[in-house]
Chain A
Amino acid sequence: MNILFVLAASLFAAPLFFLISKWKKSVAYIAYAAFQVLVFLYVFFWGGTGASYEVVGITSKLNFNFSMNPVNWFFASIVMLIISTTAVFLLPLKKSPVKIFLLSLVTAGVLGAVFSADFLTLMIFWEISTWSSLLLIIQDKEKSTGEAIKYAAIAAIGSYSMLFAIFYMDSRLGTVEFSSVALKIESQPIGVQLTIFIALAIMVLAKMGSFPLHTWLRGSHSSAPDEFSPILSGGLTKLGGFLLFIMSIVFPSFKVFGNLPLLNGIPIVNYGLALLGGISIVVGTVMAIRMEDAKELIAFSTVSNSGYIVLALSIGGTYATAGGMMHILNHAMASAAMFMAIAAVAYMTKTTRMHEMGGLIVKMPFTFAVYLVAIISVAGIPPTSGFVSKWLIYQQLVQDGLPFLAFAAFFGSIGSFMYVFKPLAGIFLGQLKPEHEKVREAPLIMLAPMAFLTLLTIFWGVFPSNAIRSINRITESIGGGTVDVTFSRIVALTGQWDSVLVTTVFVIGLAISLLIFMRAKKARHVDLLDNYTGGDFLYTAELYHFSYRMYRPFDRLFEKWPSMENWLSSTSEKIKELGALFRAVFFNRNPQVYIALTVIVLVGAFWWLR
């Protein structure tokens, strides 16, 4: 049994699940979930064998190439983890045959993409998952079509940029396989190298939702069906990370672009890309703080974290690369957990607007716990895994002396406290609305995958060495450096920390405060409406839940900021105007114009060509 078999099974499973769900929907969904879990187990345990396969078929000269290297294994495990947990999670949600068909196609495409060994295979499978995800996004909500078109446009920009790079590579280097390109790219002139690099970088930025191609994330994530948002944010955007990592392997950019001007020892091309990542962090953070809908907020959080990944993998260096890889893992888990928690809440309360909820911690405590751990991870606080990746990135930034990029990184980290806290306060804390009195905790089938992701986040926060050793193996296999790590201590360029020690100290601190707490007199439990109001009594809970426009003062600071959100629609308007112009010239109402054009073209061509 090898990956080809699994891939083929995935592709054929799509119409199969469609047919089964026409008969009985729940059976199809359960089958899909079971299949994904099995694939995940297969990938995780047997996915790194190092085998490679070539399958004939794309065009006369190019074939599909697959490999099962440690790199493939790493990314495949991450995306399959997210997909399989989401597949189990979505079992109680609304089902339809179309959705299961498209979901299966998406997963088949993703699976093929992460196991690819050449750019064209990657592209083809990525495209399959892109168009099926586009169709999937519009399934539920009416406003989704307006948003999905932005996704279509930006995805098109990215895809065709990558196609350009692929065939350019093919015409200059004669190959598009990762390993062969890596060998041949160094001997090419700088113009060729730059073109390919930039064209591929455009695809990375578009698919990860990084500045300046980030405007699609907000609408697509928020209006996608709730079960699909975790996969979109935790799985599909990470394919961009895969491409970026492959680029950093294939283009030993410090050698390749080493003749270009250097900034702090980093070639200007890489620095430019990292700068775009940095801007993405800042923009994502600021916009997230201003959002009122939980899913839009997490969408901008994805923009911000994609910026971290782009930044980390662009500046190069052992620690930044390890940090970037770990961040891909962390953000995938945290983002999926956040979306799942919001989806669970939405399943119970039928809304995702934060100011319409409140006080749900008493009704949905486990969901709260999942969400809490996820946001702690996104904010980068120990002892969750989010801290590890951010710490590694900071170490590299400090060591290299990059103040502007470090500013962006710090901004993202500190700003994330603000925006992750808002849904927590708005949804789970505060006053419970009377209409939510009957809300119960999410069903077990939804809690279990969320709990699994939470446990993993904490596990890799307390024992990061486990994850880092895997990453070390990967970077070693491609000739990079490794992070110095013992059982619990990570030694970096300008410092070291011991995760078990920090966790232990934290537990001791908690124990001491618990001691003080218990020794003091027991408190009397009162209702939430029994609050200090300067002598008045509270009766209506809705009025006292402060969540809407919680950061209004901050918001006011950025009101006059130029917005990137409209560049797409203004471009589309320009194209329509251009179209009207063309129509007036070439497709005029008067046929005399056609004859005139014919004559002009003929005469002009003759004059030019002779």
Chain B
Amino acid sequence: MNPVWLIAIPLALAFVSAFWRIVSGWALIIAAFFNAFAGVFGVIFLTATSFSIGGWKAPYGINLLVNDATKLLLPISNILFLFAVLSYLRKGEETTKYSVVFLVALASLNGILLTNDLFNLFVFLEIAGISAYLLASTGEGSDSKVASFKYLMIGSVGSLLYLLGVAILYGAAGTLNISELAARVSSGQISGDVTLVSSLLIVAGLGVESKLLPFNGWVPDVLTKSSRVATLVLASVYPLAMVYAFSKVILAVGDDRVLNLVVLLGIATVLVGEVIAFGQKSLRRTLAYSSIAQSGLAIFLVGIGSVEAVTGSIMLLINNALSKFMLFSIDDQVIDEAGRDDRDTLYGYGRKSPIVGVTFVVSALSIAGMPLFFGFRGKLNAISASFEASLAVPVLILIAAAIEVTYYFRWIFTFFKPVGTVQAPEKRILPSVEFLAFGLVLSTVIVFLGVSSGEAFTMFERAADSLVNGVLAIGKAILGGM
């Protein structure tokens, strides 16, 4: 199956539902299901890796690249998107009202994951960005509109910077194909100044979406104020695609000096994110800043650039997606039931609703990196790889990790604080069926990946290898072939 269907179907259905409002809800569901299934079955069994669009062979035309990394990330992104859509299908009209936006978002995210062309990436980034701005404004009240506006401003600046960087690179290299550019950059054909400037601009541009400091000012407000499904998509599916795009491009065309800068910015992101998250009193804000920190972790590993580091990056990325999906869902449950999510409201919530409590523990401990959970494996790789740079890197990362563990445990304790007494036992609260189902699936995946033996992890290593070395290899092949 040509993976372009993953992009085309949602886009087509988006046009359909734009004009034909009645079927818009159904269109979204159909597209989500199709993408999920196609993402899993269609992609995993692909043997060919490069698909050209419109018959133009690479590097003259746009091509879609399916390597080990995309084979891993595409299914996960699409399935999470499906879960997100299904979660609030019964309860809200959100998906029907904004179905066009969701469909376009789905299409663009798949495009970002698949594309191997810098300008194509810009297009999809713009589309994804605009969808994101619209999704961000879906929350009730005016706050979400303000948040969306801020996002719009910095997002626009970011994408312009990215375009500028791409333009400079194109001018110097004459091609927009990522693989070929990788080969040209690594062979030194392009002057150092050009790569430096273009890499810097690209980092800035992609950094906005990837939540890199200091470009991530939009994150807390957007993630806290937007509506339920939108938050789920923005917090779990978007980071997968955006950070992957960041990794793909920077590893391919990045200047070595800029990679060091990326490490620095990544660590700064982690530290700032964790420190701010530590003091937050609302669960949602804590999760928002935690998301920033997790992105920072994934990105600084990309900056280090070795296979081990990028393996850790991919693992952490996926772990973050799975866990944040559950965590934000839990937060939604709480707000649905109690209206707020500060510490007082949450006291003893885990005892009133054991399922929610257990899923919270599983996802929180996975992000905090406790053994028996998936996040621990990723963290091990991350720490191991962080010793390749200077010694200060692991020290800072571990300090941030210690802060993270502390505040996650504080939230876990809040959930399980014994508040009922023998005379007045806590009443039971049942979560929604969808939450039960998805929570169960995702928790099982996290624990399974946490305890499975090393062989299961070769898939992550292959993914990393394809990012670090594979792209370059393809590029050299193209160059050689020309």
Contacts and interface: CB of A to CB of B under 8 A. Distances in A.
Are A and B co-members of a single complex? Answer: yes
Given A134-B409, A575-B403, A587-B217, A163 B398 contact: yes
Interface stretch (A42-50, A51-59, A275-283, A329-337): A51-59
A526 interface: no
Interface of A is mostly: helix
Nearest to A594: B217
A123 B322 CA distance: 25
B214 A601 contact: yes
B384 A602 contact: no
A586 interface: yes
B176 to A, nearest CB: 22
B154 A595 contact: yes
B413 A148 contact: yes
B154 A591 contact: yes
Given A142-B419, A591-B154, A606 B377 contact: no
A586 B409 contact: no
A556 interface: no
B396 to A, nearest CB: 11
Contacts of A142: 417-419
Contacts of B275: 575, 578-579, 582
B217 A149 contact: no
Nearest to A55: B453
Interface in B228-268: 255, 257-258, 260-261, 265
A57 B418 contact: no
Contact of A131 (B265, B365, B391): B365
B417 A149 contact: no
Given A135-B361, A602-B204, A610-B193, A594 B214 contact: yes
A591 B217 contact: yes
Interface in B142-170: 149-150, 153-154, 157-158, 161
A14 to B, nearest CB: 10
A200 to B, nearest CB: 14
B387 interface: yes
B257 A609 contact: yes
Contact of B384 (A59, A152, A160, A597): A59
Nearest to B409: A152
A135 B261 contact: no
Contacts of A583: 276
A288 to B, nearest CB: 26
Contact of B414 (A145, A575, A588, A605): A145
Interface in A143-157: 144-145, 148-149, 152-153, 156-157
A606 B365 contact: no
A535 to B, nearest CB: 47
Nearest to B370: A131
B409 to A, nearest CB: 4
A138 B217 contact: no
Contact of B196 (A134, A598, A600, A606): A606
B431 interface: no
A602 B418 contact: no
B140 to A, nearest CB: 20
B380 interface: yes
Contacts of A125: 371
B455 A56 contact: yes
B472 to A, nearest CB: 21
B405 A141 contact: no
B381 A59 contact: yes
A78 B292 CA distance: 45
Interface string A572-591: 10011111101100111001
B406 A59 contact: no
A594 B279 contact: no
Contact of A149 (B158, B384, B386, B409): B409
Nearest to B386: A167
B402 interface: yes
Nearest to A593: B217
A393 B97 CA distance: 76
Contacts of B416: 135, 138-139, 145
Interface in A129-187: 131, 134-135, 138-142, 144-145, 148-149, 152-153, 156-157, 159-161, 163-164, 167-168, 170-171
Contacts of A598: 154, 157-158, 161, 204, 208, 214-215
A149 B272 CA distance: 21
A606 B272 contact: no
Contact of A164 (B204, B255, B280, B395): B395
A149 B387 contact: no
B453 A153 contact: no
Contacts of B470: none
Interface string B157-201: 110010000000000000000000000000000000100110011
A55 B455 CA distance: 12
9 contacts: A60-B461, A124-B371, A140-B418, A141-B418, A142-B418, A167-B383, A168-B394, A171-B388, A591-B154
